[in-house]
Amino acid sequence: MKNAIKTFVTICMIVCLLPIEALAQQALWGNAPVISPEIHENNTVTFRLRAPKAVKVQVMGDCIAKGVADLVENKEGVWEYTTPEPLKPELYGYTFLVDGLKINDPSNVYMIRDVATVTNVFIIGGERADLYKVNDVPHGTVSKVWYDSPTAGFDRRLTVYTPAGYETSGKRYPVFYLLHGMGGDENAWSELGRATQILDNLIAQGKAEPMIMVMTNGNLVMEAAPGESSWGYVPPTFQLPKTMEGSFETHFPEVVKFIDKHYRTKANKKSRAIAGLSMGGFHSLHISKQYPDMFNYVGLFSAAIMPGKNATSPIYENMEGKLATQFAKKPALYWIAIGKTDFLYKANVEYRKLLDEKGYPYEYFENEDGHIWRNWRIYLTEFTPKLFK
Amino acid sequence: MKNAIKTFVTICMIVCLLPIEALAQQALWGNAPVISPEIHENNTVTFRLRAPKAVKVQVMGDCIAKGVADLVENKEGVWEYTTPEPLKPELYGYTFLVDGLKINDPSNVYMIRDVATVTNVFIIGGERADLYKVNDVPHGTVSKVWYDSPTAGFDRRLTVYTPAGYETSGKRYPVFYLLHGMGGDENAWSELGRATQILDNLIAQGKAEPMIMVMTNGNLVMEAAPGESSWGYVPPTFQLPKTMEGSFETHFPEVVKFIDKHYRTKANKKSRAIAGLSMGGFHSLHISKQYPDMFNYVGLFSAAIMPGKNATSPIYENMEGKLATQFAKKPALYWIAIGKTDFLYKANVEYRKLLDEKGYPYEYFENEDGHIWRNWRIYLTEFTPKLFK
């Protein structure tokens, strides 16, 4: 395939030089003969930016060993930097810093929004990162779906993944509810988390069961992600969640009811999983203990554990009693994952200590680094193969 | 609702000042207390950018009367410009120009990609532009769906809109195939074209029939939009389409077959429409005459008409004979729309002359301006209410 692309690229470069009919939409092809990022055969990467008037250009991101590196200008005003070492397989994000101003790479339309920041991305394939890529395997369908929410008082949006073959199989499927962190929304897991690619690939490899995956919006004052709701234009700085005070947990059975009504689900505890990152891990913890007959698989990814002092919802009352009930019902899997430098590491140590004291069984996965999407993608690839077996 | 938002925003601003638990994902809330754009009550708009080291900052876009305007710097290094006049209802795009470097507005996460350029957007509501907004009406489901394509040799991606209630109604629905222009993809109509919002709103107002809408990828060498295919990272400059040489038209019955198999469609000519913009109008013209029993409604939006000299596909042979067959079968609607300054205006005058000479009936809609998304959104709002009545 790589050769096919190269041939095609060569053809296109030739064609581009011809005076073909200019069926141009506005901004067609942009104004960028600059190639950035350029991923070389050996997985070093070159970043480029045309900025002839700039005094200093830097690139920042998790692909840069020291976090930030200076680009060097050539005589055409194009700045350039190549990583000294090949990059390991991973999905990387970066931005440029031009005389102190953070900007996106105009040559790279691959961007992902994380809360209120848009970052350019690229993937170095290989190893686990191959799970993050769109590969030549059967693909599930990814849908943006609205459901009526009596507790919220308005319609709200979900992302639903149905596995390849769902439309015509006639079969019923188990359901995995996957929750985002604070400031995220129903787009976070499918974009930053590569959750739909991970599911496609794990299912194609026979490592995960075909399943429906539901990615909710955990901020109950919001209808949907920024720009997708009837709020119209709202500065993203103000999209603070109504999130960790019990309302989302109280609301959650509405979601399960909607999914069981609108999809061919296996509508029972045995066939339901819930997991989430950070605040979504907190939600998963408190939802699963509040409704102990709902979920057989629970995943806490870098989870917050305890509610804040001002959270007075009944959801958070009698935590130990509810955990006792939940574990008495023997969930098939209670899975906790966190990175060693995560700021929630200590809270998770304490929570595991509580579970240990009570003799509640769980699996534990610990790795390097902290509270970052790289880890949450890893946790998803580790957790999902354990479900519904 | 506006008051509710204001109250919420005020609460959030207060909450933001509190030392709440920092459940921060990386980049949480960004670093931007700068508000941009700020849409005032009277629909003037203020643009702002923090760039203390910049010498000159400008804003460019269709929201700026002269196309470009200078921002003025305050002592905190924040540059600002307010439109002298209120903006008319419309979806607007803009970018900043900082010392000659085009950048997106870091305070505005609302962005849309058009081919290889990413532009910030905002909507001024009212009149027709209310159709472009997410309103408090029942929402259809928007799905990214992969279909197997024997003619392409790989799986390809579609965007499918199913109207509110589809999942549970048990009913069959007519299908509207909506095609993008050169350089676009299966995301173009749902993003730049606001097609799913337009459908939601027209259906909710009783102006359009509930229908399925299918947005294809008209570039047959591509699997899917940039970043969504197994090609991995490909510089967008090279995404030149295989588009106007007959292969997409030849391929099209595969799409119709897939949709009829996977959705509850009314699988007959009476219940099928096809329309497209620019190259998509060209495709609609040639597909509908090639398969005269397939579509009852045809829409050419700023359409290219004649194939290039090098297009030797049988699809383009015997154009007059095929048109004669198509019109002998009396399509319910043949609709042509174009703006007065469109570079394809003359080609459309000539085509209408041909249709007039032959006595083939069509409806014609002409308006101001040229080959731009603003017009294509208008054409969609005009065309869709005429379908399946």
CATH fold of B132-386, please? Rossmann fold (3.40.50)
What's the CA gap between A288 and A319, in Å, rounded?
11
3-class secondary structure, B57? strand
Using the predicted structure, report yes or no on whether residue B252 has a pLDDT greater than 80.
yes
Q: Give A-chain residues touching B31 at CB under 8 angstroms.
A: 102
Higher pLDDT, B150 or B227: B150
B106 preceded by a cis bond (ω within 30 of 0): no
DSSP assignment of A226-287 equals TTSSTT-S--GGG-----SSSHHHHHHHHHHHHHHHHS-B--SGGGEEEEEETHHHHHHHHH
Position B202 scores a pLDDT of: 98
What is the per-residue pLDDT across B69-91, written as a single tens digit (0 to 9) for each? Answer: 999 999 989 999 999 999 999 99
Assign residue B48 a region (left: φ > 0; alpha: ψ between -120 and 50; beta: otherwise).
beta
How do A90-98 and A117-124 pair as beta strands? antiparallel
Position A29 scores a pLDDT of: 38
Chain B residues 349-378 with CB within 8 Å of chain A: 371-373
Average pLDDT over residues B58-66: 95
The ipTM (two decimal places) reads 0.89
**How is chain B split into domains, by residue range?**
32-125, 132-386
Low-confidence ranges of chain A (pLDDT < 50): 1-32
Interface touch A244/B54, C-beta < 8 Å:
no
Closest Cβ opposite residue A114 in set B20, B26, B101: B26
Q: Are the CB atoms for A129 and A123 separated by under 8 Å?
A: yes
Q: Is A24 on the interface with B (CB under 8 A)?
A: yes
- Smallest CA-to-CA distance from A183 within B173, B373, B29 is with B29
* Percent of chain A at pLDDT exceeding 70: 89
If 0-12 CB within 10 Å is exposed, 13-18 middle and 19+ buried, where does residue B225 land?
A: buried
Closest Cβ opposite residue B237 in set A32, A99, A134: A32
Q: Are A24-125 and A132-386 equal in CATH topology? A: no
How do B45-50 and B78-82 pair as beta strands? antiparallel
Please enumerate in sequence order all residues whose Cβ is within 8 A of that of A113, keeping only pairs 6 or more positions apart, or say none: A119, A187, A191, A226, B109
Helix then strand count (H, E) for chain B reads 9, 18
Q: What is the identity of the amino acid at A158?
A: L
What is the per-residue pLDDT across B3-51, written as a single tens digit (0 to 9) for each? Answer: 444 433 333 333 333 323 333 333 333 444 789 999 999 999 999 999 9
Chain B residues 306-345 with CB within 8 Å of chain A: 308, 343
Q: Give A-chain residues touching B133 at CB under 8 angstroms.
A: 230, 232
Q: For residue B37, how many C-alpha atoms fall within 13 Å in the half-sphere facing its CB?
A: 31
CATH fold of A24-125, please? Immunoglobulin-like (2.60.40)
Closest Cβ opposite residue B39 in set A27, A111, A233: A233
Chain B residues 185-214 with CB within 8 Å of chain A: none
Q: Is A98 on the interface with B (CB under 8 A)?
A: yes
Q: Which residues pair with B47 in a beta bridge?
A: B81
Provide the greatest CA pair distance for chain A: 75
3-class secondary structure, A374? helix
What is the per-residue pLDDT across A285-308, written as a single tens digit (0 to 9) for each? Answer: 999 999 999 999 999 999 999 998
Please enumerate in sequence order all residues whose Cβ is within 8 A of that of B264, keeping only pairs 6 or more positions apart, or say none: B166, B170, B171, B172, B173
Interface touch B109/A226, C-beta < 8 Å:
yes
Q: Which residues pair with B297 in a beta bridge?
A: B273, B333
DSSP assignment of A60-129 equals EETTSTTSEEE-EE-TTSEEEEE-SSPPPSEEEEEEEEETTEEE--TT---EEEETTEEEEEEEE-SGGG
3-class secondary structure, A176? strand
Tokens 């029993």 correspond to what residue? B293
Nearest-Cα distance to chain B for A183, in Å, is: 7
Determine the angle formed by the axes of helices B345-358 and B319-328, rounding to 10 degrees.
60
Closest Cβ opposite residue B278 in set A9, A25, A99: A25
Higher pLDDT, A57 or B226: A57
Q: Are the CB atoms for B302 and B193 separated by under 8 Å?
A: no
Closest Cβ opposite residue A109 in set B12, B116, B343: B116
Position A207 scores a pLDDT of: 98
What is the per-residue pLDDT across B350-386, written as a single tens digit (0 to 9) for each? Answer: 999 999 999 999 999 999 999 999 999 999 999 999 9
Interface touch A240/B98, C-beta < 8 Å:
no
Q: Give A-chain residues touching B308 at CB under 8 angstroms.
A: 20-21
Higher pLDDT, B301 or B13: B301
Q: Nearest 5 degrees, angle CA A64-CA A65-CA A70? A: 55
What's the CA gap between B243 and B221, in Å, rounded?
8
Determine the angle formed by the axes of helices A247-262 and A279-290, rounding to 10 degrees.
80
Q: Is B28 on the interface with A (CB under 8 A)?
A: yes
Position A15 scores a pLDDT of: 34
Position A93 scores a pLDDT of: 94
**DSSP character at residue A314:** G
Give the mean pLDDT of chain A. Answer: 89
Q: What is the identity of the amino acid at B122?
A: F
What's the CA gap between B376 and B195, in Å, rounded?
10
Higher pLDDT, B269 or A183: B269
Interface touch A25/B183, C-beta < 8 Å:
yes
Position B14 scores a pLDDT of: 33
CATH 2.30.30.110 fits B32-125, yes or no: no
Position A233 scores a pLDDT of: 67
B181-214 core/surface letters (b: 16 or more CB in 10 A; e: else): bbbbbbbbbbbbbbbbbbbbbbbbeeebbbbbbb
Chain A residues 38-97 with CB within 8 Å of chain B: 39, 51-55
What is the per-residue pLDDT across B172-201, written as a single tens digit (0 to 9) for each? Answer: 999 999 999 988 999 999 999 999 999 999
Nearest-Cα distance to chain A for B204, in Å, is: 14
> Best of A6, A46, A121, A237 to disrupt the B interface by mutation (most B CBs within 10 Å)?
A237
* Percent of chain B at pLDDT exceeding 90: 78
Interface touch B9/A234, C-beta < 8 Å:
yes
Please enumerate in sequence order all residues whose Cβ is within 8 A of that of B377, keeping only pairs 6 or more positions apart, or say none: B91, B132, B193, B194, B198
Position A227 scores a pLDDT of: 82
